[in-house]
Every structure is written in structure tokens, then in C-alpha cells.
């Protein structure tokens, strides 16, 4: 599929999404349209899987032609279901397929009850299997009885049938292993919903260019990763971006506190063809109840909620993640707590990159103590990258990226990059472009001083600055004003005065010829 065709598909899906909008907010109709798209994906994947099995058996019918009421077909249906659960993680019967329900809706049938039962059946088909956790309650946000879909059951059925019919007409081309058309379209929709979700957008989405930047940083010089982890994974887009930067990632781990966003992350993984055995996304508060605390990861990435509240309970001083620092991040700003957590789970030879507000670079009190310990005792801070203001949904503040490594090659310095002016101004927010990413990655890889852009500062310089990491202390972006030649300005003023006098005389002569008073005649 060409880029133009992909853009047409994205526009088509966005138009279908807006069919659902009605009285719903962006985050609400997002859950419905993404859920329906996901159901269509599962259905088409089931058909492809089953048809391959039937082809191997040299059967003279396809999966959609099987009938559970036909005794000759039952053995096929039973065996396909068993193999599907083991290999793709779930099972759909022929009469539960997306196309079947969409066709019935087109013909005016009432399909809401059967659709609800089908979505529940997908979840229940996995019970007792290895994929059970990845599918449990996956469709719980698709309330087909919600009055937001219509005041009456008939109205709701008509709307849902209309949406399914439109989606049924689209070919997602999921059998094409050379492209990820549906995955790209899904990411596009998530981004579009984020742009209309205001402050809530930060809960589930990191702008794609920022995700790409983080992914390139943690995969630098690597072709594959044993593991990648995001403790505040949102929709999972950042994890998937890391996966794209290398040939393979053996295992993807994530944790997300918001239940709806957690469901979206699992859908996003499956829809991007990440096998259920190769990802482990959990739903819990990472700082209070970390779900992967016994693991260490090759790459750790995150865009945590900026300056979020957390308990900062003194009992956390006994937690291995925080105990060595002697101080906890303040209860009103959990930024450093996320850094400490991520560092604890980073493998010895791994790299972590986290987006944070600028305050973590210079705020004092307990945050200053933690920052000093990271630099002086652990020497794990490798690079600080200043990003432009207004590039994130829901906030206009400037942000930075902290890059940490436990086994640093450059132990005697910290690299500072000021990319705060690297952006294109768009209607509602600023955007990093590919050339801006190239500039940042180039500076990160070369690790050399670049006038007004990058500085390799020694640890002694950082110490002399009392461990303050505020970027302007190291990267001088001051632009001197152009010198003014006062003699030349004086001569210009004199020339203007002479020209003015000539003009005044011309006007006075005209006035005399017209027999009127000159504006330059002194009042008598």
C-alpha cells in the first residue's frame, strides 16, 4: 500500500469514527471505534488461520462456509478452535465473525445482543489458556446498551450496524506480512483522538516523533533486544515504536494504571501482531504495586504523568528502589520516583530514556538530594536533552529527556543537548520533524561540543554547578545583539533632516501659489 493509499484509509477510518461521535467525548467514542476495529482484526485473523488449516487438509470449503449445525462440519470447527486458542490465543466460531454480524446488521436485523455475546465469547475462549490474562475483560469498555449510542435499543442497533457495515467494506490487508497497514492506521487514530482529548491525552499517548526519539536512543547500536519495559505504558505506542527500531524484541513488558488505557494497550499489541506470549502488560499503580519488580530490562522507556501526586509514604524508604537515596520524591511531584523505579529495573548494560518536566533538572530539597546521588554516587546520568515547549498533548510546558545507563562508556562527563528550538510551529502545538530528530540523534551519537546546541560537560563542571543540570548552564545559546554604529546613525538623521527641510519648502511654495497659509507658517 502506498503512502497515499494509507492516508486515504486513515481518513476513511476517521470519518467512520465520527459517525459514532454524537454526544460522546473524544475518549469515549475512541473506545468504541477502536474496539470495533480490533474485533474486525481478530475476525480476519481467525479466518486466515482457519483457512490455512483447511487448505492443508485439502478441504473443499472455507471457514466462513462451516455450519455448527452440520454434523460433518463440527469436527472441523472443534479442531480449529483448539488450535486457534493454542496458537493465536483466542477462537471465533463461523457465526461470530465480524463479516457475518455486519451483514446481518445491513439487512436490518437486531445484532446488539449477539455482538455483545460474541465479544464476551472471545474473552471466555481463552480461559485456562496461556493467553487468558491478555484477553481478560478486553472489551469491557464497549457498553452497547449505553444511551450515548442512542436513546432506544433500535437507535443503538442502527448506529452500531452502520459503523460495522462501513468497516466491513474496508480491506485491512492483514495477510500482507510486508506491511502493517492496520497497525499504522490504528496508531493514526490513537493520535487523532489524543489531539482532541485535552489533558486526558497525556494519559495514553506520546507524540510519535518523541516516541521515535526515545526508541532510537535506547536501541542505539543494537539489532535486537531481550526485553523492553515501560512502567507507564499508556496505549503501548512507545513500546511498539521501540520494537520497530530493531529486528526483534524477545519480550515486551508494560504497566498502566488506567483500566481503559490498559485495555487499549493490550489491543494495540495484538493488533500489531505481537504474539500473546511475547508481551506482558499489567494494570496497577507502578510506584505502589510494581508488577515486574523481579525483572531487569535491556531498554526502559517512559513518558510518565508530569509532576503527578504519589503517597511518598516514609515506608518507601525501606523499598530497595528508593532506600539508598535517603530521600523520597515529594508527594506533589513523583517525577524522580519514576526515575528511581526505572533505574532499579534497568539491566546492567541497558539504557533508559524518560521524558520529564524541566524542574527535575534544578529543583532543590529532596529532588536535589536524589539528583546529586544519581550523579556523584551512581554516575548513571549520561545525557540530558532539552525539548521544545508545547509538543505534548494537554500541556504546553517545555520538557526534557533523561538518558541513564548503569554501565556508562563516558564515565567522566554528561552530554547536554539543547533542542528547544528544533520544531515546526503548527496550528495548536509544535512538532518535531524528521530533520530535528536527525540533529538530536546525531549529537547524541557523536558526543561532541556543538556551538549553541550541545556541550560535553565534565563531572567537575556539574559539581561546580552544585549538581544543577539546567541546560542553559552548560549550553550557551546567547545571541549577541548586532553592534550599532552611532556615527553612521547620526549622519543618517542629519540627511533625513536636510531632506525634510527641502520637502517643507516645496510644500510652502505650493501653498503660496494656491493662496493658502502654509502649515509651516508661524501663528501670529
What string of DSSP letters covers 295-313?
Answer: --EEEEEE-PPTT------
Cell numbers placing 18: 465520527
> With bands split at pLDDT 50, 70 and 90, how would you rate the model's confidence at 21?
confident
> With bands split at pLDDT 50, 70 and 90, how would you rate the model's confidence at 396?
confident
**Stretch among 198-212, 298-312, 383-397, 482-496 having the lowest mean pLDDT:** 198-212
E strands, 319-359, are 346-357
Distance CA 162, CA 150 (A): 13
Cell numbers placing 480: 549577541
Cell numbers placing 438: 536527525
Return the C-alpha torsion angle 53, 59, 64, 66, nearest 10: -110
- Cα distances (angstroms) measured from residue 121 to each of 115, 124, 336: 10, 5, 43
**103-124 pLDDT tens trace:** 999 999 999 999 999 999 999 9
**Would you say residue 184 has pLDDT above 60?**
yes
Using DSSP's 3-state secondary structure scheme, residue 482 falls into: coil
**Would you say residue 93 has pLDDT above 90?**
yes
Distance CA 168, CA 435 (A): 38
List, in order of start, the domains of the chain with CATH numbers: 3-195 (1.20.1260.30), 198-473 (3.40.50.150), 485-524 (no CATH)
What is the pLDDT, as a whole number, of residue 45? 93
**Would you say residue 197 has pLDDT above 80?**
no
Asked if residue 220 lies in contact with residue 351, where contact means CB atoms within 8 angstroms, the answer is: yes
**Would you say residue 242 has pLDDT above 90?**
yes
SS3 of 101-140: the string is: HHHHHHCCCCCHHHHHHHHHHHHHCCCCCCCHHHHCCCCC
Distance CA 224, CA 247 (A): 5
Taken in order 65, 68, 73, 76, the sign of the CA dihedral is positive
What is the pLDDT, as a whole number, of residue 2? 65
Residue for grid cell 518536566:
357
Residue for grid cell 477462537:
91
**Helix axis angle, 3-19 relative to 153-168, nearest 10°?**
170
What is the pLDDT, as a whole number, of residue 524? 42
Using DSSP's 3-state secondary structure scheme, residue 231 falls into: coil
In order, the DSSP letters of 426-443 are -SSSEE--HHHHHHHHHH
Query: How much is the mean pLDDT over the chain?
Result: 89
**Would you say residue 204 has pLDDT above 60?**
no
Give the pLDDT mean for 177-204.
Answer: 67
**Would you say residue 201 has pLDDT above 50?**
no
**Stretch among 179-183, 206-210, 253-257 having the lowest mean pLDDT:** 179-183
Distance CA 91, CA 94 (A): 10
**Any residues with CB less than 8 A from the CB of 11 and at least 6 apart, and which?**
none
- What would you measure as the largest C-alpha separation in the chain, in angstroms? 120
**Would you say residue 478 has pLDDT above 70?**
no
Quote the distance between the C-alpha of residue 336 and its chain's center. 21
Taken in order 480, 442, 195, 11, the sign of the CA dihedral is positive
E strands, 372-504, are 381-386, 399-405, 413-418, 424-425, 430-431, 454-458
> With bands split at pLDDT 50, 70 and 90, how would you rate the model's confidence at 200?
very low
> With bands split at pLDDT 50, 70 and 90, how would you rate the model's confidence at 196?
low
**316-369 pLDDT tens trace:** 999 999 999 999 999 999 999 999 999 999 999 999 999 999 999 999 999 999
- Cα distances (angstroms) measured from residue 514 to each of 201, 506, 519: 72, 13, 13
**245-265 pLDDT tens trace:** 999 999 999 999 999 889 999
**Would you say residue 504 has pLDDT above 90?**
no
- The H or E element that residue 253 is part of is strand 248-256
**Would you say residue 314 has pLDDT above 50?**
yes
**415-434 pLDDT tens trace:** 999 999 888 887 777 888 89
Distance CA 10, CA 18 (A): 12
What is the pLDDT, as a whole number, of residue 482? 67
Question: What angle (nearest 5°) sits at the alpha carbon of residue 12, between those of residues 10 and 18?
Answer: 105
E strands, 159-233, are 224-230
Pairing of strands 381-386, 413-418: parallel
What is the pLDDT, as a whole number, of residue 401? 97
Quote the distance between the C-alpha of residue 263 and its chain's center. 15
**Any residues with CB less than 8 A from the CB of 110 and at least 6 apart, and which?**
153, 154, 157
Distance CA 184, CA 75 (A): 37
**pTM check: above 0.75:** yes
Amino acid at each position: 500500500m502506498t503512502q497515499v493509499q494509507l492516508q486515504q484509509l486513515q481518513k476513511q477510518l476517521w470519518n467512520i469514527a465520527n459517525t459514532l461521535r454524537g454526544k460522546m467525548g473524544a475518549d469515549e467514542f475512541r473506545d468504541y471505534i477502536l474496539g470495533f476495529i480490533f474485533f474486525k482484526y481478530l475476525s480476519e485473523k481467525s479466518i486466515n488461520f482457519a483457512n490455512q488449516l483447511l487448505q492443508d487438509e485439502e478441504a473443499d470449503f472455507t471457514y466462513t462456509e462451516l455450519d455448527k449445525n452440520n454434523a460433518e462440519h463440527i469436527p472441523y470447527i472443534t479442531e480449529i478452535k483448539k488450535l486457534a486458542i493454542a496458537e493465536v490465543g483466542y477462537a471465533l466460531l463461523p457465526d461470530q465473525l465480524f463479516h457475518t454480524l455486519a451483514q446481518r446488521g445491513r439487512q436490518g436485523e437486531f445484532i446488539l445482543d449477539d455482538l455483545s455475546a460474541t465479544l464476551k465469547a472471545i474473552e471466555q475462549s481463552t480461559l485456562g489458556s496461556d493467553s487468558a490474562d491478555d484477553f481478560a475483560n478486553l472489551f469491557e469498555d464497549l457498553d452497547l446498551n449505553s444511551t450515548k449510542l442512542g436513546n432506544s435499543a433500535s437507535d443503538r442497533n442502527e448506529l452500531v450496524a452502520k459503523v460495522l457495515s462501513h468497516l466491513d467494506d474496508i480491506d485491512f490487508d492483514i495477510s500482507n506480512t510486508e506491511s502493517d497497514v492496520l497497525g499504522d492506521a490504528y496508531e493514526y487514530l490513537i493520535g487523532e483522538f489524543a489531539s482532541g482529548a485535552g489533558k486526558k491525552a497525556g494519559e495514553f499517548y506520546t507524540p510519535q516523533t518523541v516516541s521515535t526519539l526515545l526508541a532510537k536512543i535506547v536501541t542505539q547500536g543494537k539489532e535486537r533486544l531481550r526485553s523492553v519495559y515501560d512502567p507507564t505504558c499508556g496505549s503501548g505506542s512507545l513500546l511498539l515504536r521501540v520494537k520497530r527500531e530493531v529486528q526483534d524484541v524477545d519480550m515486551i513488558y508494560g504497566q498502566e494504571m488506567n483500566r481503559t488505557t490498559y485495555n487499549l494497550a493490550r489491543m494495540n499489541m495484538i493488533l500489531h501482531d505481537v504474539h500473546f506470549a511475547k508481551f506482558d502488560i499489567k494494570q496497577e499503580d507502578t510506584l505502589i504495586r510494581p508488577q515486574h519488580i523481579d525483572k531487569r530490562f535491556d531498554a526502559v522507556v517512559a513518558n510518565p504523568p508530569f509532576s503527578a501526586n504519589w503517597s511518598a509514604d516514609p515506608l518507601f524508604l525501606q523499598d530497595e528502589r528508593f532506600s539508598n537515596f535517603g530521600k523520597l520524591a515529594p508527594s506533589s511531584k513523583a517525577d524522580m520516583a519514576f526515575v528511581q523505579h526505572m533505574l532499579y529495573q534497568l539491566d546492567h548494560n541497558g539504557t533508559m530514556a524518560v521524558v520529564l518536566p524541566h524542574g527535575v533538572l534544578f529543583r532543590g530539597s529532596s529532588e536535589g538530594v536524589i539528583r546529586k546521588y544519581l550523579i556523584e554516587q551512581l554516575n548513571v546520568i549520561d545525557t540530558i536533552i532539552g525539548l521544545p515547549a508545547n509538543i505534548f498533548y494537554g500541556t504546553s510546558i517545555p520538557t526534557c529527556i533523561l538518558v541513564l545507563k548503569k554501565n556508562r562508556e563516558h564515565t567522566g562527563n554528561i552530554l547536554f543537548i539543547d533542542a528547544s528550538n528544533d520544531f515546526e510551529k503548527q496550528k495548536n502545538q509544535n512538532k518535531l520533524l524528521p530533520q530535528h530528530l536527525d540533529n538530536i540523534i546525531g549529537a547524541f551519537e557523536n558526543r561532541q561540543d556543538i556551538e549553541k546546541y550541545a556541550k560535553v560537560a565534565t563531572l567537575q563542571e556539574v559539581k561546580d554547578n552544585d549538581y544543577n543540570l539546567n541546560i542553559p548552564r552548560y549550553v550557551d545559546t546567547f545571541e549577541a545583539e548586532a553592534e550599532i554604529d552611532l556615527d553612521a546613525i547620526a549622519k543618517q538623521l542629519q540627511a533625513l533632516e536636510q531632506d525634510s527641510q527641502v520637502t517643507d519648502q516645496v510644500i510652502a511654495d505650493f501653498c503660496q501659489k494656491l493662496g493658502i497659509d502654509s502649515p509651516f507658517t508661524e501663528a501670529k
